[in-house]
Amino acid sequence: MTQKIGFIGLGAMGHAMAGRLMDAGYILVVYNRTKEKADDLVKRGAIFADTPASVAQQTDIVFSMMFDDASTEEATFGKDGLATTLKEGGIHVCCSTLSLGQARRLLEQHTQRGQKYVSANVLGRPPAAQAGELFVMVAGEEEAQKHLEPYFKTFGSRIFNVGSDPVQANLVKLSLNFMIYSTIEQMSEVFALNEKAGIDPKTIFEIMTNSFYTAPVHKNYGKLMVEHQYDNAGAPVTLGLKDTKMFMDAGADYAVPLPYASVVRDRLLSAISAGDANRDFVVMLERVRQEGGLKKENTEK
Amino acid sequence: MTQKIGFIGLGAMGHAMAGRLMDAGYILVVYNRTKEKADDLVKRGAIFADTPASVAQQTDIVFSMMFDDASTEEATFGKDGLATTLKEGGIHVCCSTLSLGQARRLLEQHTQRGQKYVSANVLGRPPAAQAGELFVMVAGEEEAQKHLEPYFKTFGSRIFNVGSDPVQANLVKLSLNFMIYSTIEQMSEVFALNEKAGIDPKTIFEIMTNSFYTAPVHKNYGKLMVEHQYDNAGAPVTLGLKDTKMFMDAGADYAVPLPYASVVRDRLLSAISAGDANRDFVVMLERVRQEGGLKKENTEK
Amino acid sequence: MTQKIGFIGLGAMGHAMAGRLMDAGYILVVYNRTKEKADDLVKRGAIFADTPASVAQQTDIVFSMMFDDASTEEATFGKDGLATTLKEGGIHVCCSTLSLGQARRLLEQHTQRGQKYVSANVLGRPPAAQAGELFVMVAGEEEAQKHLEPYFKTFGSRIFNVGSDPVQANLVKLSLNFMIYSTIEQMSEVFALNEKAGIDPKTIFEIMTNSFYTAPVHKNYGKLMVEHQYDNAGAPVTLGLKDTKMFMDAGADYAVPLPYASVVRDRLLSAISAGDANRDFVVMLERVRQEGGLKKENTEK
Amino acid sequence: MTQKIGFIGLGAMGHAMAGRLMDAGYILVVYNRTKEKADDLVKRGAIFADTPASVAQQTDIVFSMMFDDASTEEATFGKDGLATTLKEGGIHVCCSTLSLGQARRLLEQHTQRGQKYVSANVLGRPPAAQAGELFVMVAGEEEAQKHLEPYFKTFGSRIFNVGSDPVQANLVKLSLNFMIYSTIEQMSEVFALNEKAGIDPKTIFEIMTNSFYTAPVHKNYGKLMVEHQYDNAGAPVTLGLKDTKMFMDAGADYAVPLPYASVVRDRLLSAISAGDANRDFVVMLERVRQEGGLKKENTEK
């Protein structure tokens, strides 16, 4: 007998993950605020529910992949939240990037209701999800992790058990995101100083990415940076700031100083003040350049 | 007719580079303070000269690969320095990691004497040199660069022209070194915070180095860090501090703020204060850990 | 006819301010969680109310001086909060040190209820309040400020109108608090470096405080620092961290980078990790000293 | 019998100090590169010598008050430097603000020649010198300090013995200078954030300087800052950077991390990049303002 599972939040990533679960034969009960995003999944047999509560009523395991703390809170503990109907022993598998505070609240509240809460943060972009090649960082009760493994394997090529406290998966995720911004700051200082000394950043980028600095984080972001591609890319300054704030708050929770994170924070704030809030966060480079007296980005194309 | 060229400074790297030049058929006139390091090269036909001046007297192109500013200064402009005898139009090819101030002084003084000065900084370790797989970053007069290319190709797999001002190669080298220390600080903050939250740094290291952070800089140094291998490795805290100081001085030369470099500087200073001056610079992690309240490194093994 | 006014929160400062209002002839309706703190005021004629709501029911102007955001929220919008009964056009004069977010929430919620909200942050310690020598930084509607002036003058020697948006008084207060921590970090770096160089911090303290650095912030905190008086003094590390976080959040609200605040934050976090959470925040010095390799504070005496 | 003493370096401060020594009845042998600056002293009976060496030939105690390391080096150990003629046991009293490296070199070289070296750094401006109200921070051999006291008292109202190693007086001086820049950064962050929140910096300046922040460092520099007086004042950005570099180098010498100093450094570098190298260093505020998105300084008036 095929098992029904719930999936709430069908953005690009959630949609791809839900699709993989269906590919593996699971029947999905799905919810998304914008119903249309579920259309193709429904065509393939998914059941659309009108509320998160309705999803949880029909299933014992509910995945959620929401945008942030607030939307996760609403979908979980709001009036029609999944927690209002999830049965005792039911599992909420939360895949969203959350603050540790929000993750703790989820654990506490679900536990009070006799429900289980597992954090399963993923690494990779939607195409990787579609190919079943995400990295899945799981934290929560050992037994629940075991139980969920087959599901994780539908969209993940590697499953990491990072701990028994769900909040740990969230911290790993925040840490990996921080390393993106931190690498951008690092490369920004190098590019700006070299440019000021008359060295083409593209030259140093080529040397870097062919020697010790060959990771995707160097290649992907470095390329956007040396090409001043601040506008057509993925995620904005405001998202970087949200992530950095959550990482710094985690530092405060555990009383660990994080000077690099502070530098990133200030850089992103100054990008916002420069009017770049909605541009790709690689625009951090522009702040470093201009503080260093280099002329504004080429806009000539 | 085979051409004779000079090579001063036969440390591990200089020795490997000199060996490659000989492999290619060049006759070498070599000098090293500790003569024994030249023994095998002499057996293979190299001529040992008693002073740098003597090397320059016998050759038109003199490579040097010294430890630092002071030793380069001495070998070049000291009483028996190569500059005292190098003929007009002769080329000093300096491969050492130098401060920009020292590089400028070399350019200025050689130019005053009618001699040429080319900076050729290399990237890679001695085994890469032996295999002819260094990256060579060259800066100086276009014509001289052209002329030297065949020599560079004996030990380098890629030759980068980074500019016409010799100092530019030095800056690129300092920048690439800085990225090592900066990546270590970055990973230190992540490892320490995660460890304090009960997550094994080895787990996060494995996730990192299998996802977006796959560069040698992540893998090589990250491994030493999570294993607390602070003692058996390459380069000490003091070297890191010297490099960082030179990078920051370059920032001052061009008036470019470098907040990440300042954080690294302070971290290395605190490592020295903790008595770790001569340990591998990955011991930076230990400072971040202890500031974050984690117990001293495991010494149990 | 004497006017009745409300006062909620009778800690050392609130009590002193309330006493001054009574001295001036106003009749006070007071509330404090621990009733005993109101005893002497009641003896002098104050009316004790059982809840903040009861205070607001009997008066048109209600002062509050609570410990933090949470206690202010509870006293204002909780089940028995003053906002539940304050009449339309009534004024809540909030004197607590609050985050800007909390101050904004007060403004918004009171406005929705047709109530007025004025921020009146004070500078000085309880004895200054008793002497009527506080500085009062007021922000809010011009007319309300005018109306409140006679009350402010009972405990304040100087009244500053810092703006028409109540949140502005809170920011000024957070800024002035930040300058305390920032001056402590500044002096810590100086004391630690000089001590390491063999110079008695007490000597440099004496030079400082007799030359350009003669402010109370230098004299009061500097003295505690050079005497390593980390335990018998006023406010703990955790309070410093709370203030610093609120100041940094204000920086984020207005997108202004605050690198000094970040350094203070990290210093306080490392003090917490060192087990000093409840010691006076001048213990920051100890972190700077120990990072610089100086021996632990003298405990001998 | 009146004693002859030497004085080299008659800038505003040196001139005032020399004048005080003469007022007290000492006969001075003076030297200054620009001879005219000595004219009035000569009229009053001072003897002008053509070189520092000539000064030292005629006296046993030679004061020097030069601009920086280089000019002190030249006046001391140059071809006609005072050290070439100062007799064994003669004392060089150096009042210049020097790097610790330079101070160490003076000590070492003088000692090798059997000469004594005492550091006597002063605090105050030329008018204070004229009034005999400088603070004199002395370091060096105890006996020599004793011997020099009568001289110090001619221009100093307070004499501090800061240690037996001359370099210690230099460090105290560098520390006190650093506190100026650091206080400016601190106030800059406060002024910029408050301005962005719509609060007039002049208001917060008035509150500050009437409460806990009443020191000359707050009043004098704060006034220049809130009035955007970046051009008519004393010392330029480049001097601030020189001082900060020397202070940071001292931190490196003693392995003490100085994060605040690093922030100041970066701020001054960005001021240079903005074209403000020769403006008063309070222009640091302008960098903080503009990074925070505030419009360029008012130039309207």
> CA-to-CA distance for A62 and A36, rounded, in angstroms?
20
**Cα of D263 to nearest chain B Cα, Å:** 7
Residue pair A228/A298 in contact by the 8 Å Cβ criterion? yes
Of D256, D258, D269, the CB nearest to B252: D269
pLDDT recorded at residue C239 = 95
Q: Kindly give the interhelix angle for A284-291 and A259-273, rounded to the nearest 10 degrees.
A: 90
pLDDT at D1: 46
Quick one: pLDDT at residue A207? 96
Token output for B39: 């023994």
Instruction: Tell me what pLDDT residue C300 has.
Output: 43
B269 to chain D: closest CA residue? D255
Q: Give the gap in angstroms from C-alpha A253 to the nearest C-alpha of chain B.
A: 9
Per CB-CB distance under 8 Å, the chain C contacts of A267 are 257
Is residue D71 scored above 80 in pLDDT? yes
The position carrying tokens 């090269």 is B41
All residues of chain D having their beta carbon less than 8 Å from the beta carbon of residue B266 are 257-259, 262
Active site residue B219: no
Among A291, A294, A295, the strongest candidate for a mutation testing the D interface, having the largest count of D CBs within 10 A, is A291
Asked if the Cβ–Cβ distance from D270 to A293 is below 8 Å, we say: yes
Which positions in chain B touch D265 (Cβ < 8 Å)?
A: 252, 257, 262
CB-closest option in D179, D193, D218 to C250: D193
Contacts of B124 in chain A (CB under 8 A): 211
CA distance A209 to chain D (A): 28
Q: How far is D84 from chain B (nearest CA, A)?
A: 24
The chains in contact with chain B, meaning 3 or more Cβ pairs closer than 8 Å, are A, C, D
Phi, psi of B157 (to 5 degrees): -90, -25
Query: What's residue A301's pLDDT?
Result: 40
- Enumerate the domain spans of chain A: 4-165, 171-291
Q: Quick one: pLDDT at residue B125? A: 86
Which residues on A lie below 8 Å from C260 (Cβ)? none
Phi, then psi, of B161 in degrees rounded to 5: -85, 105
Minimal C-alpha gap between B236 and chain C (Å): 18
Across the interface, of A135, A208, A291, the residue whose CB is closest to B176 is: A208
Quick one: CATH architecture of C171-291? Orthogonal Bundle (1.10)
Give the list of residues 6+ apart from residue B81 with CB closer than 8 angstroms, or none.
B52, B53, B74, B75
Among the listed residues A56, A24, A127, the one whose alpha carbon sits nearest the alpha carbon of residue A47: A56
Identity of the residue in D241, D256, D272 whose CB atom sits nearest the CB atom of B273: D256
Confidence band of A1 (pLDDT split at 50, 70, 90): very low
Q: What's the CATH class of domain A4-165?
A: alpha beta
- Is residue D182 within 8 A of residue D264, CB to CB? The reply is yes
3-state SS class at C74: helix
**A104, containing H or E segment:** helix A100-112
* Contact: B270, D263; criterion CB under 8 Å: no
Q: pLDDT tens digits for A219-277?
A: 999 999 999 999 976 789 999 999 999 999 999 999 999 999 999 999 999 999 999 99
Q: A258: nearest CA in chain C?
A: C266
Of B273, B291, B293, the CB nearest to C293: B273
Q: What is the pLDDT of residue D232?
A: 74
Give chain B positions within 8 Å (CB) of C291.
Answer: 270, 273, 287, 291
* Interface contact C259-D256, CB threshold 8 A: no
Q: Which of A173, A219, A245, A296 is catalytic?
A: A173
SS3 A116: strand
pLDDT over 80 (residue A297): no
Residue type, A67: F
For chain D, list residues whose CB is within 8 angstroms of any CB belonging to chain A: 259, 269-270, 272-275, 287, 291-293
The rounded distance, in Å, linking the Cα atoms of B286 and C186 is: 25
Catalytic residue among C79, C87, C153, C173: C173
Residues of B with CB below 8 A from A269's CB? none
What is the CA D193 to chain-centroid distance, rounded? Answer: 31
In chain A, % of residues over pLDDT 90: 94
Query: pLDDT digit string (tens) for A14-62?
Result: 999 999 999 999 999 999 999 999 999 999 999 999 999 999 999 999 9
- Report how many Cβ contacts below 8 Å link chain B to chain C: 24
Q: Which has the closest alpha carbon to C91: C137, C35, C149?
A: C149
Whether the ipTM is more than 0.85: the answer is: yes
CA distance D205 to D215: 12
Nearest Cα residue in chain A from C272: A255
Q: Which tens digit of pLDDT belongs to each residue from B239-279? A: 999 999 999 999 999 999 999 999 999 999 999 999 999 99
Q: Which residue of B has its CA nearest to D253?
A: B269
Q: Model confidence over D100-130: pLDDT tens digits?
A: 999 999 999 999 999 999 999 999 889 999 9
Q: Which residues of B touch D272 (CB under 8 A)?
A: 255
Q: What are the helix and strand counts (H, E) for chain B? A: 13, 8
C-beta neighbour count of A146 within 10 angstroms = 10
| pTM (two decimals) | 0.95
Residue B122 confidence (pLDDT): 96
Residues of D in contact with A259 (CB under 8 A): 259
Banded model confidence at residue B166, pLDDT cuts 50, 70, 90: very high
Using CB atoms within 10 Å of the CB of residue A70, give its burial: 0 to 12 exposed, 13 to 18 middle, 19+ buried.
exposed
- The residues, ordered by sequence, that sit 6+ positions from B252 with a Cβ below 8 Å of its Cβ are D241, D245, D265, D269
Out of D173, D219, D295, D296, the active site residue is D173
Q: State how far residue A100 is from chain B, nearest Cα, in angstroms.
A: 11
Which pLDDT score, from 0 to 100, does residue D299 have? Answer: 52
Please tell me which residue of chain A has the smallest CA distance to C276. Answer: A255
Give which of C185, C246, C248, C266 to mutate to test A binding, by max A Cβ within 10 Å.
C266
What are the tens digits of pLDDT across the range D196-244? 999 999 999 999 999 999 999 999 999 999 999 999 767 899 999 999 9
Per the CB < 8 Å rule, is C262 touching A263? yes
Ranges under pLDDT 50 in chain C: 1, 300-301
The pLDDT tens digits for B29-84 are: 999 999 999 999 999 999 999 999 999 999 999 999 999 999 999 999 999 999 99
Question: Nearest residue on chain A to C253, judged by CA atoms?
Answer: A269
Q: Give the mean pLDDT of chain B.
A: 95
From B173, B219, B295, B296, active-site residue: B173
Convert the pLDDT of each residue in A85-100 to its tens digit. 999 999 999 999 999 9
Structural Rg of chain A based on CA atoms: 21
- Given D245, D257, D269, which is nearest B269 (Cβ)? D257
- Taking CA–CA distances from D269, the nearest residue in chain A reads A292
Contact A252 C270 (CB under 8 A): no
Q: Are B266 and D272 a contacting pair at CB < 8 A?
A: no
What's the pLDDT band for D301 if we cut at 50, 70, 90? very low
CB-CB neighbors (< 8 A) of A275 in chain D: 293
Please answer whether residues D13 and D129 qualify as being in contact, where contact means their C-beta atoms are separated by less than 8 angstroms: yes
What DSSP string describes C88-151? TT-EEEE-S---HHHHHHHHHHHHHTT-EEEEEEEES-HHHHHTT-EEEEEES-HHHHHHHHHH
